Amino acid sequence: MRQGKIERKTHETEISVSLNLDGNGEYTVSTGIGFLDHMLEQLSRHSLMDLDVKATGDLQIDFHHTTEDSGIAIGEALNAALGDRKGITRYGSATIPMDETLTRVNMDISNRPYLIWKVTFSKPKLGEMDTELFKEWFQAFAQAAGITLHVENIYGENNHHIIESCFKALARALRQAIEIDPRKSDEIPSTKGVLGGSL
């Protein structure tokens, strides 16, 4: 079983994450930020990763540290679960509709982290959460997981639908990319023989 577990403790947050790449999409998520919990539940459900996240942070200041650090911790746990990335499909893509909204995510689990974020919001907040924090989560996740990640909201009006479609598209692309390729299950998917480093 491809599993990862991370304990991350700073002066600002304390986070534990465990995940199983070969799960059934079961989750237990508690970050103290209701909307972020909802998005991480979508990530688990639609990627079929089992995900357990417990986070406490300095929410009396704002949601920034908890949001960013949860992205780091989940990314680190994913990276640990992937190991040398032998046998994975490596690439994944998904285009997800949600009512009036359409979002596309493409990824390469390359061990060369990079984020392209083409998502804009018409309001500064969703509930109590600053919408600018969603980019921070995706950046932290991509960096820690070693993923080249392109996220593009093609169109949409409702801010809730826009960000939820981003997480659902991330989940479906991730589900595709982490699948073991039965034709190359014992090989690292790179002509270099290793993922990461220079192009």
User: Number of structural domains, the chain?
Assistant: 1
Task: Look at residue 199 in the predicted model and tell me its pLDDT.
Answer: 41
Domain around 83: 3-178
Query: What distance in Å separates the CA atoms of residue 52 and residue 98, rounded to the nearest whole number?
Result: 26
Residue 16 domain flag: yes
Task: Look at residue 196 in the predicted model and tell me its pLDDT.
Answer: 67
Task: Look at residue 1 in the predicted model and tell me its pLDDT.
Answer: 80
Query: What distance in Å separates the CA atoms of residue 4 and residue 26, rounded to the nearest whole number?
Result: 15
Tell me which residues of the chain have a pLDDT lower than 50: 198-199
Task: Look at residue 198 in the predicted model and tell me its pLDDT.
Answer: 44
144 three-state secondary structure = helix
Q: How many residues does the chain have?
A: 199
Task: Look at residue 105 in the predicted model and tell me its pLDDT.
Answer: 98
Query: What distance in Å separates the CA atoms of residue 127 and residue 191, rounded to the nearest whole number?
Result: 47
Residue 149 domain flag: yes
Task: Look at residue 184 in the predicted model and tell me its pLDDT.
Answer: 77
Task: Look at residue 86 in the predicted model and tell me its pLDDT.
Answer: 87
Whole-Å CA distances, 13 to 16, 54, 58, 80, 125: 10, 11, 7, 21, 22
DSSP structural state of residue 68: H
- Does the pTM of the predicted model rise above 0.85? yes
Residue 135 domain flag: yes
Stretch (H or E) spanning 19: strand 13-20
Residue 183 domain flag: no
Query: What distance in Å separates the CA atoms of residue 94 and residue 195, rounded to the nearest whole number?
Result: 22
**What CATH number does residue 119 fall under?**
3.30.230.40
